[in-house]
Amino acid sequence: MLEGYPGPEEVYPAFRDFIGGATLVAHNASFDIAFLAHEMGRLGMSLPIRYVCTLRLARMRLPGLPDHRLETVCRHLFGVLPGGIGRHRALDDARLTARIWSALAEY
């Protein structure tokens, strides 16, 4: 699937430049941050980053849910998943995470 696309040695420096000093928001951020830190470390790069985890936030603010998966939290907060959302697709997961972050920030 990745044949013909830029490799890690090009992608990770560009990603680090893109995020700059921003705070990342992710659902189960510790997994994503650990993955990024490991892969960037293989290239001799560090990952100085701040992040917010919507999974942790959901566990704190919505303790009564049966689980805190992205879809479960979204359904709890909004009633249904937005139309056209594919499960476990990067952009769709990012959109759901953004909606959850916005909602939980005001919770």
Instruction: Give catalytic residue positions.
Output: 88
Is residue 101 within 8 A of residue 25, CB to CB? The reply is yes
> What does the block give as tokens for 28?
């189960």
CB within 8 A of 45, min separation 6: which ones? 12, 13, 16
